[in-house]
Amino acid sequence: MADAFLEARGISKAYEGVQALRDVSLSIGRGEIHCLVGENGSGKSTLIKIIGGVVEPDQGVVVIGGRPHSHLAAIDAIRQGIQIIYQDLSLYPNLSVAENISFNQFVERRTGFVSWKEMRAIAERGLAEIGESIDLEESVQNLSVAKRQIVAITRSLTQNARLIIMDEPTSAITREDVDHLFSVIARLKAKGISTLFISHKLNEIFEIAEVVTILRDGRKVGDFPTAELDDAKLTYLMTGQRIQYTPYKAPARTAVPLLEVRGLSRRGQFREVSFSLWPGEVLGLTGLIGSGRTELALALFGLNPPDSGQILLAGQAVRIRSPEDAGRLGIGYLPEDRLTQGLFIGQSIGDNIVVTVLKKLLGALGLLDPARRRKIEKRWLEELAIKAPSARVRAWSLSGGNQQRVVLAKWLATDPKVFILDGPTIGIDIASKQNIHEIIRALAERGIAIIIISDEIPEILHNCNRVLVMREGRLEKEIQEVSAVGETELLAVVGGRHGNGEDRS
C-alpha cells in the first residue's frame, strides 16, 4: 500500500520448536482502523509483539513510515510512534491519572526531575485531544475499566503515537463504554492515527474495523475489507471449518423447578430478579457487562449474598452464604477467569480436581486415601479427555482448553444439580470450544440444570434452550424457545442502546 504507515513483511517466528508465525505480511495505512483476528495459537499476540519491538522475528522486516527496521527494539518502536496497550493496560493503580498519563514521557526523558505542573499540562492536553475529561488527581485504582482504558489511550497519545495497538480492548467494558471507545478510535482516525486491535467479538469488529486480517495457525489467511465479511464467512476463515449446530431442546418440565429465584436484589448490582430453572435445561444468561449477570451468579454461589429475595432449591428455601454452602446444596460455579479464579495454576491437575471433593477422599482414620484420589483423578482425566501425561502435571503447562476442562472436572466431581458456567469458552480455541459445548450438552441430557453466562450470541443460540437477558441489573427479557429465534433478533434484544430505539444490527 502506497501510503502505509506500517508494513510487516514476511515475518516468521518460532518458539522452542513451535512455529508461531510463518511468512506473515501485514500492512496498515495511515489513520486506518485495522483488526487482527484469529483463534488462540494463531500467532496474533506474537505478531503484535514483533511490531512493537518487544520480540525479534527470526525472519522478515518491519517497515515503519517507509523505513525498514531489521532489529527493532521496543524503545525504537515507541519513538517511531508504535504504542501497545496490553489487556491489563499497564497502569499504576496507586498513582494518579495525571501521573499515569505522563509517566512514560518522563521515564523516556531521563532528565531526573518531574514537574507536577508539566505532568498536569501533559495530561490535560492529551485528554483534550480526544475530547475526554477525567479527574486528574484521582487514583487510577478508583476508576472503572472503561475510564482506565481512556487513560491508557491518552498515555499513548502523549508519546506521539502514530499507531495504537490494543489487545482485546472491549472484553471488560459495558456496551456504552464500547460505543465511547469506538468514538475515541474514530477521533484518532481523524487525526491520522492508525489503530490495530485484536478482538474476537465479531459484531464489534464489524462495527468499527475497516480492514480485517485473519490469521490461522501462524499463517495469514488474508486481508479483507469489513464490508466483504459476515459472521459465517469470518468464522470459516478463522477456523477453516463450517460449524453446524443443532439447537438444543430441553426435556419436559418436572412439577417443581429445581431452582427458583424470587425477587433477588442486591443494591447497586441487580434488582428484583426472578426466574426458574428445570432439570435438563440449558439456560442462557446474557446481557452486556455491567448488567449484573456475574453478580447474580455469584449470589447463587454464595460469594455475593443478596440483600433481599428468596432462593429455592427443589421447592425449599435456602440460604447460601458461602461457596461451601453452595457446594453442599449441589450448586457448582465455573468462574469467569480460570487463571485467577478457577485454577491453582502452580499445583498439579490432580490437586485442582479433587479440592472440591476432599470429603469423598476420606478413608481409614479420617485420612485422605491416595487410592480413592487416583481413581477420581483418572476418571475425570478420561471422561473429559484432558490431554496431559499424568495428573501430576502442573496446571500452567496446559493449553487454555485443557485448563478449562480441569476446572470443569473440579465441579463435575461434586456431582452438582445446578451448574453455572460463566464465560466457559473465553480465550479457547474453536476445537476445544466445540468439545466443551458437547460436554455441556451431555451434562444437560443427564438431568443437570445448567446456566451459561455468555457474551457470544452464537454460543447462546447453539447451546441454550431458553435465554434470559439482563440489562442494568434487571431481567429485561426472557426468550422461551431459542430455536424459534434468529441471530439478528437476539442481537437486537441484547445489544439495544439505552433509551435509544436504534436497532444495532
Nearer CB in complex with another protein: 4/345: 345
Which of positions 323-362 make contact with another protein (CB under 8 A)? 323-324, 326-327, 333, 335, 339-347, 351, 355-356, 358-359, 362
174 forms bridges with which residues in the sheet? none
Position among 18, 255, 371, 484 found at the interface with another protein (CB under 8 A): 18
Position among 3, 70, 112, 246 found at the interface with another protein (CB under 8 A): 112
Binding of another protein at residue 375 (CB under 8 A)? Answer: no
Binding mask 308-327 for another protein (x = CB under 8 A): --------------xxx-xx
Count of residues that interact with another protein, criterion CB under 8 A = 68
In order, the DSSP letters of 247-303 are: -----PPPSS-SEEEEEEEETTTEEEEEEEE-TT-EEEEE--TTSSHHHHHHHHHTS
- Position 175, amino acid: R
Q: Give the nearest distance from C-beta 346 to another protein in angstroms.
A: 6
CB atoms closer than 10 angstroms to residue 95: 14
- 2 CB-near residues (< 8 Å, 6+ apart): none
User: Which one, of 329, 307, 304, lies nearest residue 317 by Cα?
Assistant: 329
In order, the DSSP letters of 64-109 are: ETTEEESS--HHHHHHTTEEEE-TTTT--TTSBHHHHHHHHHHHHH
Which of positions 146-185 make contact with another protein (CB under 8 A)? none
Nearer CB in complex with another protein: 424/495: 424
CB atoms closer than 10 angstroms to residue 491: 17
Binding of another protein at residue 93 (CB under 8 A)? Answer: yes
Nearer CB in complex with another protein: 203/402: 402
The C-alpha atoms of residue 80 and residue 52 are separated, in whole angstroms, by 10
198 forms bridges with which residues in the sheet? 36, 167
Cα angle: 340, vertex 345, 348; to 5 degrees: 145
- Which H helix or E strand runs over 44? helix 44-51
Position among 4, 61, 63, 114 found at the interface with another protein (CB under 8 A): 114
Position among 121, 186, 190, 368 found at the interface with another protein (CB under 8 A): 368
Of 72-80, 184-192, 305-313, 471-479, the window that binds another protein (rule: CB under 8 A) is 72-80
Rounded to whole angstroms, what are the CA distances from 395 to 67, 353, 414? 44, 10, 20
Position among 8, 91, 188, 464 found at the interface with another protein (CB under 8 A): 91
Nearer CB in complex with another protein: 155/437: 155
Binding mask 209-238 for another protein (x = CB under 8 A): ------------------------------
CA-based radius of gyration for the chain:
24
Binding of another protein at residue 75 (CB under 8 A)? Answer: yes
Nearer CB in complex with another protein: 24/460: 24
Binding of another protein at residue 99 (CB under 8 A)? Answer: yes
Binding of another protein at residue 74 (CB under 8 A)? Answer: yes
Q: Find out whether 214 and 24 touch, Cβ atoms under 8 Å.
A: no
In order, the DSSP letters of 14-28 are: EETTEEEEEEEEEEE
Of 70-78, 287-295, 450-458, 465-473, the window that binds another protein (rule: CB under 8 A) is 70-78
Q: Give the nearest distance from C-beta 399 to another protein in angstroms.
A: 5
Position among 1, 59, 71, 109 found at the interface with another protein (CB under 8 A): 109
Cell, residue 463: 447451546
Residues in contact with another protein by the rule CB under 8 A? 15-18, 40-41, 45, 74-75, 78, 86, 88, 90-95, 99, 103-104, 106-115, 303, 322-324, 326-327, 333, 335, 339-347, 351, 355-356, 358-359, 362, 366-368, 387, 392, 394, 396-400, 402, 410, 429
